[in-house]
């Protein structure tokens, strides 16, 4: 499964918004500068997070983005769905009914094929794994590796 870089950006920005510990919205420009990202493309990801109810948007010169709910209420699956959409990754096109299978009939063509069943089973496991992990879990893991990460992020933003 290949996801767009927008998923990575969105997860990092959600974590960043939490680490900043501010009651004010943070502008796209400031969020983009945090990771040296192009603001227009990041803004598309932020708008997708707003549509999904993960973030809020405040218009105007002092506007920007904030989290709509705590990290422990946002799963990785929520972010993936917000950015990539809800469609399943595997789309069976029933190629078994073409070529050598054209014109075939019988029970083997009336039930889902083994390839489709296997792919859907794997995708379900992947989706369940993402749904089982919150952004709070990801934050804890990041802070285990780098205990002063939040401090460093807030200090960088205070200077820039």
CA distance 15 to 12: 5
Average pLDDT over residues 89-96: 82
For residues 50 and 1, which has the higher predicted lDDT (pLDDT)? 50
What is the mean pLDDT of the segment spanning 117-146?
96
pLDDT tens, residue by residue, 99-129 = 777 777 777 667 888 898 999 999 999 999 9
Contact at 8 Å (CB) between 75 and 11?
no
Using a pLDDT cut of 70, give the percent of the chain over it: 98
Q: Say what the pTM is.
A: 0.88
What rounded mean pLDDT belongs to the chain? 92
Phi, psi of 26 (to 5 degrees): -110, 130
Nearby residues of 21 by Cβ (< 8 Å), 6 or more positions away: 150, 154
Query: What pLDDT is recorded for position 1?
Result: 65
The fold adopted by the segment(s) 5-159 is: Arc Repressor Mutant, subunit A (1.10.10)
Q: Is the pLDDT of residue 85 over 90?
A: yes
Percent of the chain with pLDDT over 90: 77
């Amino acid at each position: 499964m290949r996801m767009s870089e927008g998923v990575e950006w969105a997860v990092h920005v959600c974590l960043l918004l939490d680490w900043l510990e501010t009651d004010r919205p943070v502008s796209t420009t400031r969020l983009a500068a945090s990771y040296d990202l192009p603001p227009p493309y990041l803004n598309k990801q932020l708008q997708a997070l707003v549509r999904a109810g993960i973030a809020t948007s405040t218009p105007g010169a002092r506007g920007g983005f904030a989290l709509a709910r705590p990290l422990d209420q946002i799963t990785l699956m929520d972010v993936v769905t917000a950015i990539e959409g809800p469609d399943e990754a595997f789309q069976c096109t029933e190629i078994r009914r073409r070529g050598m299978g054209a014109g075939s009939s019988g029970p083997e063509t009336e039930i889902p094929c083994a390839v489709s069943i296997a792919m859907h089973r794997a995708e379900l496991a992947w989706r369940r794994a993402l749904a089982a992990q919150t952004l709070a879990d990801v934050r804890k893991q990041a802070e285990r590796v780098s205990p002063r990460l939040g401090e460093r992020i807030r200090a960088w933003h205070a200077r820039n």
